[in-house]
Structure 1
Amino acid sequence: MAHIHLTFSPDPAYMRTVRLVVAAVARRAGLGADAVEEIRLATAEACARAVARHRAHRISTPIEVSMSDGDRFTVRVTDHGPPEPGIGLRYSKGAGVVVNDLNDDDIPDDEVTADMSFVLLKGLVADLKIAHGSASAGTEVFMSWPVNRPVGR
């Protein structure tokens, strides 16, 4: 099982590199072209949101991206922005609590549309979780996809 951890400065110039790396790692994990494209798009959206939050709050701390290719291919994007009033509570149901899949009916769609990035991610990723930690931890977007490897790999 491979574990990859990237950090990058909150500058849109690094987005292309992140997209290339996540696509390469997903291909290496054995995912098909459609899944690789979905992962690339979802990761780019989560990272673009993180960059925007860092720039809006003048945060220079690097954004973190972690990938793993066990039974599921996972991507975790962590920003270091402050808690989001209202939005954070809607998604986290309290600081530090991980939200169940955003496809659940317990979060009304009109509340989710308050943040367009989450709407786009919801459309791209079936297994999407969002967690809010302390003010220093920011927001963590966790996404995963099934890995269907041939037997013996």
Structure 2
Amino acid sequence: MATVELRFSAQPEHVRTARLVAAAVARRAGVDEAVLDEVRLAVGEACSRAVGLHRSHGVTSPVMVALTEEEKTFSIEVGDGVPGSGASGAGSGADGPAADSGEGEDEMGLAVISGLVDDVKVTSGAEGGVIRMSWPTASAVPLA
């Protein structure tokens, strides 16, 4: 069950808000303080990627961010509305027409996220792509 859901128009200025909300909810969920910078950076990269995909493909639907607190993990899903976008940059070279359409930046964003988050999964489908990231929480920590 999502603890917090955000939907925002694909404008770069909204990425900062998503980062701040993600860090606050992660802290509340019991994510270690030392990991909060990684959470902020990973969410910023994922949201920036989604905004870029929306803008380059003319998608007007909002970017979706779901922050979920589970028993021992905290997860964040960042979804875009670009069909087939989930792994578009993963494993493709940066040469040729794909690099001209921004997929080189997409690949770099996915590499940064993979470097920041141990548990990350990138999927795509007809409704768009989703980057799911999760971090361990301190179990049995009461939420004030």
TM category, shorter: 0.7 to 0.9
**How far did residue 113 of structure 1 move?**
6.9
State the secondary structure of the residue aligned to 1:5: strand
Matched, 1:142 2:132: yes
Deviations 1:10-46 (A, max 9, x none): 0001111111100100111122222111111101100
Counterpart position of 1:76 = 77
- Share of identical aligned residues, percent? 40
Q: CA RMSD in A?
A: 2.0
Partners in 1 of 2:84 and 2:63 — Cα distance?
Answer: 15
C-alpha spacing 1:37/1:152, structure 2 compared with 1 (3 Å):
closer
1:57–1:124 Cα change, 3 Å: same
Q: Is the CA contact (8 Å cut-off) linking 2:32 and 2:138 kept in structure 1?
A: no
TM-score by length of 2: 0.81
Q: Which residue of 2 aligns with 1:44?
A: 44
Give distance in 2, aligned partners of 1:39 and 1:81: 24
Q: 1:112 to 1:23 in 2, by over 3 A?
A: farther
Q: Is the 8 A contact 1:4 1:67 kept in 2?
A: yes
> Taking structure 1 as the reference length, what is the TM-score of the superposition?
0.76
| 1:120 to 2:101 alignment | no
Look up the match of 2:21.
21
Aligned residues: 128
Choose from 110, 114, 129 the match for 2:121.
129
Q: Aligned partners of 1:51, 1:127: CA distance in 2, in Å?
A: 22
The structural deviation recorded for 1:77 is 0.3
- Could you list the runs of 4 or more consecutive aligned residues of structure 1 that deviate by over 6 angstroms after TM superposition? none
Residue 63 (structure 1) aligns with: 63
Q: Distance in 1 between matches of 2:83 and 2:24?
A: 31
How far residue 5 of structure 1 moved from its aligned partner, in angstroms, is 0.6
Q: Contact (CA 8 Å) 1:112, 1:118: kept in 2 or not?
A: no
State the AA in 1 paired with 2:4. I
Q: How big is the shift at 1:138?
A: 1.0
